[in-house]
A = this chain, B = another copy of it.
């Protein structure tokens, strides 16, 4: 089973992408809604919560862990890999590989939460792949609340996006990494504001492709259930109306969220 965790419901864009790109695999998702957001928390706290989430997924049959939360991936991935024996994939690395591969002018933008940007993880990994790349990061802490409110087409959201994007637009980037799992929902607003020539890299889609490659070459983890379209389960540490609405919006169908004790 593919275990996926996130600080909340945004990581469901990763689950959704895995469902599309790796059809037939059973998924188990845990969204730590009771403690969301991680982006504003300290590294120690994020690591502690990530361990609890991983324990929950392993206790429920996961054989592969996907960290679908950028803040957790940037802060806790190394701690999890040294603590557990199962493979731990993260939502950051595949997007950095893609960005370094597609850029032509070696000028890459990254947007994310404050914790993700402060960690410098995108910059470090992209420049490790290609030392010629220059990475321009911008923390966008208000985008998650705006998405969670469903303000996907409001004038204020467009203005706030323009304010966040204008400093990196001035850097004449040709590639922009959406370094937060909520941001794919803003894809259509971001593209015209950053410029149509800039290629957007969706970290949710890239990690799903990476999961597929990993499964294809790892027969011991590969327990594809043929003939079964989906038996995904979605657990959350808390559940509210707006959370259920956002889950349904991401999947385009009604998602049953199972609440477990935090």
Contact = CB atoms under 8 A, between A and B. Distances in A.
A42 interface: yes
Contacts of A163: 156
Given A34-B35, A155-B159, A156-B159, A41 B238 contact: yes
B145 A240 contact: no
Contacts of A237: 45
Interface residues of A, number: 30
Interface centre among A155, A156, A262 (most CB of B within 10 A): A156
Nearest to A139: B149
Interface in A217-262: 237-240, 242-243, 259, 262
Interface string A156-176: 100110010000000000000
Given A35-B34, A149-B141, A239 B156 contact: no
Contacts of A155: 159
Interface in A32-88: 33-36, 40-42, 45, 48
Contacts of A40: 33, 36, 148, 240, 242-243
A146 B163 CA distance: 14
B45 A238 contact: yes
A7 to B, nearest CB: 12
A156 B160 contact: yes
Contact of A242 (B36, B114, B156): B114
A140 to B, nearest CB: 10
14 contacts: A33-B40, A33-B41, A40-B148, A40-B243, A42-B239, A45-B238, A45-B262, A142-B142, A142-B146, A145-B145, A155-B159, A156-B156, A156-B160, A156-B163
Give the 4 A-B residue pairs with the shortest CB-CB distance, closest first. A145-B145, A45-B238, A42-B238, A34-B45
Given A33-B40, A114-B242, A142-B145, 20 more contacts: A34-B35, A34-B41, A35-B35, A40-B148, A40-B240, A40-B243, A41-B238, A41-B240, A42-B238, A42-B239, A42-B259, A45-B237, A141-B145, A141-B149, A142-B149, A142-B151, A145-B145, A155-B159, A156-B156, A156-B163
